[in-house]
């Protein structure tokens, strides 16, 4: 099973709302990622969690707040977003670690389509 | 130095033909080179990946060719089918710990015509 599950699939929110995106994997992967993807563009890395600790923050605005409650779950809390934040938000996971040919393979979820009004 | 350049931006191939997408990189620390396939409304799915210690890897109709000295790699899709119509992204990462940033190419929109 190489499934990364994201909920919700679609989200519409106003600029004053607070919402959360959820990501779950049960592959025992130790690294989890949030990406943002605009139409006809490649995914852009936002955050990386490694062994439940934030290891990379790509200078993302503070209105996006990641959280890793345990090794299987990754949340992205959204607050006071702007219309330009409308995009497909993708979660991914990889085995991680220093050993093994498959350590780098990132498995992506289907994404949450976010619209900010 | 972090960029991965991908070409062409779009590609139209007849059914049964060979589709070829090229990528080039500058960062010599890159150690892992995957290709992803993405259908509209879906997340990217890993197609095939290679490390610099081999020059070619084949999985079914998909082949990666890797030229370490030229810092280039390419995806060949043999006997292209309409179901292969999708956007393809090459990517690269340093790779020592399995939790590094993946740098994506700009994508190629592939259309296979009957």
Does the beta-carbon distance from A42 to B51 stay under 8 Å? no
Q: What is the mean pLDDT of chain A?
A: 93
* Predicted pLDDT of residue A96: 80
Shortest Cα distance from B48 to chain A (angstroms)?
10
How many angstroms separate the first and last alpha carbons of chain A?
36
Q: What residues have CB less than 8 Å from A38, skipping those under 6 apart? A: A44, A87, A88
| Count, residues in chain B | 114
* Predicted pLDDT of residue A59: 92
pLDDT over threshold 90, residue B100? no
pLDDT in tens, A72-107: 999 999 999 999 999 999 999 998 876 666 778 899
Tell me which residue has tokens 């939790």.
B99
Q: Is-contact B92 B103, C-beta < 8 A? A: yes
pLDDT over threshold 80, residue B110? yes
SS3 B42: coil
Chain A residues whose beta carbon lies within 8 Å of the beta carbon of residue B101: 45, 48, 56, 58
Q: What is the mean pLDDT of chain B?
A: 94
pLDDT in tens, B15-69: 999 999 999 999 998 989 999 999 998 999 999 999 988 999 999 999 999 999 9
């Amino acid at each position: 099973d190489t499934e990364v599950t994201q909920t919700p699939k679609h989200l519409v929110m106003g600029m004053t709302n607070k919402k959360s995106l959820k990501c779950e994997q049960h592959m025992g992967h130790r690294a989890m990622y949030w990406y943002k993807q605009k139409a006809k563009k490649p995914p852009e890395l936002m955050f990386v969690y490694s062994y439940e600790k934030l290891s990379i923050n790509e200078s993302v605005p503070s209105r996006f707040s990641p959280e890793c409650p345990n090794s299987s779950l990754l949340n992205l809390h959204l607050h006071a977003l702007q219309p330009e934040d409308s995009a497909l938000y993708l979660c991914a996971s990889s085995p991680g670690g220093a050993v093994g040919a498959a350590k780098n393979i990132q498995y992506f979820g289907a994404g949450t389509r976010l619209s900010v009004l | 130095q972090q960029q991965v350049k991908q070409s062409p931006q779009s590609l139209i191939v007849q059914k049964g033909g060979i589709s070829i997408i090229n990528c080039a990189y500058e960062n010599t620390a890159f150690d892992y080179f995957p290709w992803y396939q993405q259908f509209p409304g879906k997340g990217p799915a890993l197609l095939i990946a290679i490390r610099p210690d081999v020059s070619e890897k084949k999985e079914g109709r998909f082949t990666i060719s890797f030229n370490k000295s030229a810092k280039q790699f390419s995806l060949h899709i043999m006997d292209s089918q309409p179901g292969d119509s999708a956007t393809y992204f090459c990517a690269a990462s340093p790779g020592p710990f399995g939790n590094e940033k993946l740098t994506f190419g700009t994508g190629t929109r592939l259309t296979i015509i009957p």
